[in-house]
Amino acid sequence: MIKTILIEDERLIAEEFKKILKRAADDTEIVGSFTTVRESVEWLSTNESPDLIFSDIQLADGLSFDIFSKAHVQSPVVFITAYDQFMVNAFEHNGIDYLLKPIDEGDLVRTLAKYRSLEKHFNPPLPFLSGINRPQRTRLIVRKGIEHVALKLTDVVLIYTEEKIVFVLDRDGRKYMIDRKLADLEDELDKSIFFRANRQYIVNIGYVKSYKTYERVKLQVDLSMVNLNHHIVVSQEMAPMFKKWISEL
């Protein structure tokens, strides 16, 4: 039995989806149905992860992406929405498929077949989309004002915190905000390319021009960007790892 939860804030749509799901797969059980980010986070934080999550994107109290930033979710997610502009972001949050409203039963059957295929491929099950079955991340979803931008990782020079806000700096000197924690990004990024220099900075090896000893036990990193107003120092604890990281590539 595939245990699922449904996150949908429109009652009629939720009821219709349950009927379609029952017709599409009699081996699927909805063990929880929620309408807000808050309810979903509370349930996912106190219960065993379901096999699969079906989730609308725009909820009454925010975007469902907030759920996966606040709760430790390993389950694959099928995102459901009336809008397709969130597609890139959906696949940043354990997404295995993306269904547009109104839901077509045939599309749902194909989505469930895709889930079963992935489940069968990884036996015993692994934390979903981690390790070998996660597609290599190639972009970050960043913000410039109200605009969300899919920024290529090859264009990212720095990721850093400033007054508890996380920013991304690209190769052209453009500065963006990103709604992620620096620690989470450190875990997700390719460690052969990105290095956590200290509590404030993650640097891209493609833009490291040189480094030198600083205060005898630390390292100062210079990047190949003009007018870069950032003083990047690798801490004493991280200095040996930085030397090993940069010398192996």
Helix, strand, or coil (residue 174): coil
With 90 as the cut, is the pLDDT of residue 157 above it?
A: yes
Q: What is the model's pLDDT at position 13? A: 92
Q: Which CATH superfamily is domain 2-133 in?
A: Response regulator (3.40.50.2300)
Which among 26, 20, 25, 45 has a CA at the least distance from the CA of 34?
Answer: 45
Of all residues in the chain, the percent with pLDDT exceeding 90 is: 39
Average pLDDT for 40-50: 89
What are the residue ranges of CATH 3.40.50.2300 in the chain?
2-133
Q: What is the model's pLDDT at position 136? A: 54
Q: What is the model's pLDDT at position 191? A: 84
What is the DSSP secondary structure assignment for residue 180, as one 8-state letter? S
Per the CB < 8 A criterion, the answer to whether 170 and 156 are in contact is: yes
Lowest mean pLDDT among 4-13, 153-162, 180-189: 180-189
Q: What is the model's pLDDT at position 133? A: 41
What are the residue ranges of CATH 2.40.50.1020 in the chain?
139-247
Q: What is the model's pLDDT at position 126? A: 44
Q: What is the model's pLDDT at position 129? A: 41
CATH top-level class of 139-247: mainly beta
Q: How confident is the model at residue 101 (pLDDT cuts 50, 70, 90)?
A: confident
Q: What is the model's pLDDT at position 160? A: 95
Q: What is the model's pLDDT at position 128? A: 46
| 134 CB-near residues (< 8 Å, 6+ apart) | none
Q: Cα–Cα distance between 151 and 58 in angstroms, integer?
A: 22
Which among 142, 168, 145 has a CA at the least distance from the CA of 157?
Answer: 168
The reported pTM is 0.51
The mean of the pLDDT values for the chain is 84
